[in-house]
């Protein structure tokens, strides 16, 4: 899983067209529709904190977890400057496949196709089990994925590029239909203090999952599948949907308030 280390400084520049405010509104609609009033929310694979900082600014208690310390640095700076009046966010530098919390949360979010970065099904099952373990009884897990349709028909074997005043990137995409693995090789050119450009390269991998496979893994993890929706809507998925949102609910906690879904697979 890539940590976006060299991309952290310019991540928000190249993601400026992402409708984060629209995503926040959609999340709040999901909470309302599923009768959840969360106080403490976990933003899993939070990146530079575009979701967690906005929700903290709206008064929610937030925890953000990301594998990249560089991303978290940007998130903390953003929280203190752009959202100076927001509640402080607890940012933790952890791998989502092994994350640990001191207690439970009311909702877990995992957006921006972070689930696709888990390319091994056993690892994804572990992520789902951890989510169920740290959710409050009846808590919600909300996440999105890029679809196989998008990998196969939109990204495919295409190349992309973008330039800004102080940075540029190229993106070469490859999709393996047999393994459902989407690979994109990126070159970043970032202007340094001397006026020249430093070049960095990264290779990222995302796996395409069917709705049936996601539902199967959620069930194995003890989570209750509630619904899957087309991007930012409450409509059923279409054959040409490019992004899907999944809603799952916590289950498996006993009278002691502790999840027992790990009882047959060892302790975490």
My answer on whether 173 and 111 are in the same domain is: no
Residue 196 sits in a domain of what CATH number? 2.20.25.110
Which domain does 193 fall in, by range?
150-207
Question: What is the per-residue pLDDT for 20?
Answer: 85
Question: What is the per-residue pLDDT for 36?
Answer: 97
My answer on whether 29 and 65 are in the same domain is: yes
My answer on whether 133 and 79 are in the same domain is: yes
My answer on whether 231 and 220 are in the same domain is: yes
Q: Which residues does 20 contact at the CB level (< 8 Å), separation at least 6?
A: 50, 51, 54
**In the block, which residue shows the tokens 């904190």?**
49
My answer on whether 77 and 126 are in the same domain is: yes
Please give the average pLDDT of every successive group of 10 residues along the chain, which has 268 residues.
Answer: 50 62 95 97 94 93 93 82 78 97 97 96 98 96 98 92 80 94 87 84 92 98 98 97 98 56 36
- In whole angstroms, give the CA distance from residue 221 to residue 244: 20
Residue 3 located in a structural domain? no
My answer on whether 134 and 214 are in the same domain is: yes
Domains identified in the chain, total number:
2
Residue 262 located in a structural domain? no
My answer on whether 25 and 132 are in the same domain is: yes
Q: What is the pTM of this model?
A: 0.87
């Amino acid at each position: 899983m890539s940590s976006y280390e060299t991309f952290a400084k310019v991540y928000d520049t190249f993601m400026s067209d992402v409708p984060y405010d629209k995503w926040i509104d959609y999340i709040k609609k999901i909470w309302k529709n599923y009768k959840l009033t969360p106080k403490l929310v976990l933003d899993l694979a939070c990146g530079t904190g575009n979701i967690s900082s906005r929700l903290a600014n709206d008064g929610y208690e937030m925890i953000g977890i990301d594998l990249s310390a560089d991303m978290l640095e940007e998130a903390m700076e953003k929280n203190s400057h752009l959202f100076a009046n927001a509640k402080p966010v607890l940012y933790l530098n952890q791998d989502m496949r092994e994350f640990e919390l001191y207690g439970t949360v009311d909702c877990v979010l995992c957006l921006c196709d972070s689930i696709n970065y888990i390319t091994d099904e056993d690892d994804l099952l572990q992520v789902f089990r951890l989510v169920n373990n740290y959710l409050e009884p009846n808590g919600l897990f909300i996440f999105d994925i890029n679809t196989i349709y998008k990998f196969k028909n939109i990204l495919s074997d295409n190349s992309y590029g973008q330039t800004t005043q102080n940075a540029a990137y190229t993106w070469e995409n490859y999709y393996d239909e047999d393994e459902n693995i989407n690979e994109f090789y990126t070159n970043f050119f970032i202007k340094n203090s001397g006026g020249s450009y430093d070049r960095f390269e990264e290779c990222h991998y995302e796996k395409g999952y069917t709705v049936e496979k996601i539902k199967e893994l959620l069930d194995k993890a003890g989570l209750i599948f509630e619904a899957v929706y087309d991007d930012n809507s409450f409509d059923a998925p279409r054959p040409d949907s490019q992004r899907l949102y999944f809603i799952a609910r916590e289950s498996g906690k006993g009278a002691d308030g502790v999840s027992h879904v790990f009882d047959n697979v060892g302790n975490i």
